[in-house]
Homo-oligomer: A and B are copies of this chain.
Amino acid sequence: MILTVTLNTALDITYRVPALIPHSSHRVGEVRERPGGKGLNVARVLAALGHESVVTGFVGGPVGSVLRELLAPLAPHDALVPIAGTTRRTIAVVDGTSGDTTQLNEPGPTVTADEWAAFLSSYDALLRDAEAVALCGSLPPGVHVGAYAELVRQARAAGVPVLLDTSGEPLRRGIAARPDLVKPNADELAQLTGSREPLRAARDARRRGAHTVVASLGADGVLAATPDGIWQASPPAPVKGNPTGAGDSSVAGLLSGLVDALPWPDRLARAVALSAATVLAPAAGEFDPGAYEELLPRIAVTERAAAA
C-alpha cells in the first residue's frame, strides 16, 4: 500500500453564493462537505489509479467525527490518530457567476507531545507495509517545525521511499533529512533557495538534500532534477479550469509512477496528465479519468542538458 500523512487534516466545506460582497449578508444556496487536507486528496487519486492507499495524520472533535464519517465509504483506508483537539474546517466560498473562490482556513487544533508520540508509533507500524509514503501539507499548532525531518528519517530507516510536499521552514528542515522526492511550486522553491530560475533553484534544492526535485511550473507542467538527468514535462496546451487539488494529483502521479517503477519520463507524464485532468474536472479536487487517458500519451517530455 501507499501511505499518505496529513498532520493538519480538514473538513473542506464549499458554499455557493451568487457573489461574495464584503461587509454584507449572504444566504448560502448550497453546502458541500468533503474530507480534506492534501494527503487525503493524494490518497483518493491513488485509489482511483488502482493503488491501495492508507491515510494517517490527526483527527479529533466533532468536526473530526464528520470527516471520518465522510471518509469511511471512500477507498482510502482510515488510519488517522485521534486527538483531544478539534479538526479544522476550511470554507471555500464560490461565486456562482464567475466561479471565483474565496478561501477561509482555520488554523487547526493544537497537538500535544503525547499525541505526537502516539502518532510516531502508529507511523512506524504503518511504514512496515508501505511501498512509499507522502508527507503532505502544513503542520498543526504544537507540532515541532522539524516534524517532517523526523518523519523523513523514520521512513528512510524503514527503507520506504518518501515524498515531501510542504513549504517554508518545515520544507527546509525536511529536505536536510534527505527525502527521495520533493515537489515544490515556483513560490515554495524561491522561498527555499532564493532563486526564481526553476532549473537553478531545483539544483540548489538537490544540493540541500533532496534526491529528486520535481518543480511544479503551473500551466507549463513540471521540471524534474533527478539523479539520472533533467526533464521537463508539459501538457499539449494550457488547460483552463479550477486548479484546486492539481498539485495533490501530481503527487499521486509521482508516487504511483515510483511504485510502478516507471522510468522518469513516464512518471512525469503521469503526474502532468493527472494534474491537467484535475484542472479540467467539474468538481474541485477530483480528476477527470477520460481527460487523463486522453492527455497521457500527449504529454511532451524533453530531456534537458545536465551541464550546470
Residues of B near A101 (CB, < 8 A) are 23
Given contacts A23-B101, A101-B23, contact A106 B31 (CB under 8 A): yes
Per-residue B-contact encoding for A1-44, CB less than 8 Å = 1, 0 else: 00000000000000101001111111111010000000000000
Q: Please indicate the chain B residues that have their CB under 8 angstroms from the CB of A21 in the complex.
A: 22, 102
In whole angstroms, what is the CA distance A23 to B102 when docked?
Answer: 4
Determine whether A237 belongs to the interface, using a CB cutoff of 8 Å to chain B: no
**A47 smallest CB distance to B (angstroms):** 25
Residues of chain B contacted by A146 (CB below 8 angstroms) = none
A63 smallest CB distance to B (angstroms): 8
CB of A186, distance to nearest CB on chain B (Å):
17
CB distance from A100 to the nearest CB of B (A): 4
Q: A22-B100, A100-B22, A100-B23 are in contact. Are A107 and B66 (CB under 8 A)?
A: no
Name A25's closest neighbour in chain B (CB-CB). B103
Indicate if the CB atoms of B17 and A102 lie closer than 8 Å: no
A215-238, CB < 8 A from B: none
> Which chain B residue shows the least CB distance to A15?
B104
Q: How many residues of chain A get a CB closer than 8 Å to chain B's CBs?
A: 28
User: How far is it, in angstroms, between the C-alpha of A266 and the C-alpha of B81 when the chains are bound?
Assistant: 58
A54 to chain B, nearest CB (A): 25
> Given the complex, which residues of B lie within 8 Å of A107, measured CB to CB?
27-29, 31
Give the CA-CA distance A104 to B16 in the complex, in Å. 10
Beta-carbon nearest neighbor of A63 in chain B: B62
Number of copies: 2
CA distance A22 to B106 in the complex (A): 17
Residue A252, interface by CB 8 Å: no
Contact A93 B103 (CB under 8 A): no
B62 near A25 with CB under 8 A, answer no
A222 to chain B, nearest CB (A): 23
How many angstroms from the CA of A275 to the CA of B31 in the assembled complex? 33
Pick the residue among B28, B65, B103, B106 that contacts A106 (CB under 8 A): B28
A26 in complex: contacting residue of B15, B17, B95, B105, CB < 8 Å: B105
Closest residue on chain B to residue A33 by CB atoms: B86
Residue A205 CB within 8 A of the other chain: no
The answer on a CB contact under 8 Å between A25 and B105 is yes
Which residues of chain B are near A272, meaning CB under 8 Å? none
| Docked complex Cα distance between A31 and B63 (Å) | 13
A-to-B contact residues, CB < 8 Å:
15, 17, 20-29, 31, 62-63, 65-66, 91, 93, 95, 100-107
- List 9 additional A-B contacts (Cβ < 8 Å) besides A26-B102, A26-B104: A15-B106, A23-B102, A25-B103, A25-B105, A26-B105, A28-B105, A62-B62, A62-B66, A91-B104
